[in-house]
Amino acid sequence: MMNKTDMKTAFIFPGQGSQIPSMLNMLDTKDPIVDQVFQACREVIKVEPMEIDSQLKLHSTVNVQLSLLIMEVISARKLLHYGIRPDFVAGHSVGAFSAAVIAGVITLPQALQLVLLRSTLMEQAYPKDYGMLGVVGLSLNRTRSLLDIFNQSGEKLFLSNINSADQQVLAGKTIDLQNFSQTLQAAGARKAQLLNVSVPSHCRLMDGVAAILKVKLGHFELAEPQIPYVSNLSGRLFRSGQKIGEDLWKGVAETVQWYDGTRLLYELGARTFIELEPSGVLSKLTHSTLDDVEVLAVSQGNAKDISWLWKGNNKNK
């Protein structure tokens, strides 16, 4: 049985699809942490945070990704302020940029520039008729087999996320995703549903975006991580700023290996997983993969409560 002093904590940062309308407007702008992040948005990318997170505004991929970065960095900095120290960080999709900020690899101003560029290019490349489909209840091998059959006449759909043993996400044209969802349901999938994502992320359709991000990242000096970072691309642990930078630009065009990353964190001793706000999606995935860990979800105003729980569980560390 693992000694309590050996138990570790992971911060996990959600990706697109986790956004909640008006989440930034619910923040206390008098809070110094909130004010500092909001000021960076205004100064670096000329964006007013409280004007981009309405339900209507969140139809834009640009506003979604920026809102998530802002919310997650604020959420994590509050936990750090209350004394929670993660042993690992892992971000799903655009959440990887938040993870890289908290790990100390890139600064918030750099992350804001990168995410603004990333999301703008993604939206410009596929302004309509594309999206993503969540699949629940089939093994990875079964989904891949059905996908190979569907793509026999030419590659139309792509495996973009491997989230758990029986949950994957596909990307491509909306009409093809809708047609394929019927095949998946006939094969026994519990759910095959279009996600609240309007671009085909994490597949070769985004190769052009990845190439431009690579150039942009090349202009920044990347620091070595202060906290080990779990890769989206390989599900392995990275301790090099250069490798994490590569993960950030390549990630938009390659499959997210979230399931492998979650299992690796467990193997490395993570028994407390804290999902940064907006929470929910990754908490459910973690519970579905690991049944003997504690998962804490940050929500509006509960950062101090989570700190109290975490310190109680880690008082012997």
pLDDT at 19: 94
Predicted confidence (pLDDT) per residue in 163-180, tens digit: 999 999 999 999 999 999
CA 57/CA 22 separation, integer angstroms: 10
Tell me if 236 sits within 8 A of 212, measured CB to CB: no
What pTM was estimated for this model as a whole? 0.95
Q: Which two tokens stand for residue 199?
A: 């671009």
Cβ neighbours around 55 below 10 Å, total: 10
pLDDT at 101: 98
Q: Residue 303 — pLDDT band, cuts 50, 70, 90? A: confident
Closest to 279 (Cα-Cα) out of 77, 18, 16: 18
**3-class state of residue 48 by DSSP:** coil
Mean per-residue pLDDT of the chain = 94
Is residue 222 over pLDDT 80? yes
Predicted confidence (pLDDT) per residue in 14-40, tens digit: 999 899 999 999 999 999 999 999 999
CATH architecture of 130-194: 2-Layer Sandwich (3.30)
- The topology (CATH level 3) of 7-125+203-313 is Malonyl-Coenzyme A Acyl Carrier Protein; domain 2 (3.40.366)
Tell me if 134 sits within 8 A of 193, measured CB to CB: yes
Cβ neighbours around 81 below 10 Å, total: 14
Is residue 123 over pLDDT 90? yes
Predicted confidence (pLDDT) per residue in 75-113, tens digit: 999 999 999 999 999 999 999 999 999 999 999 999 999
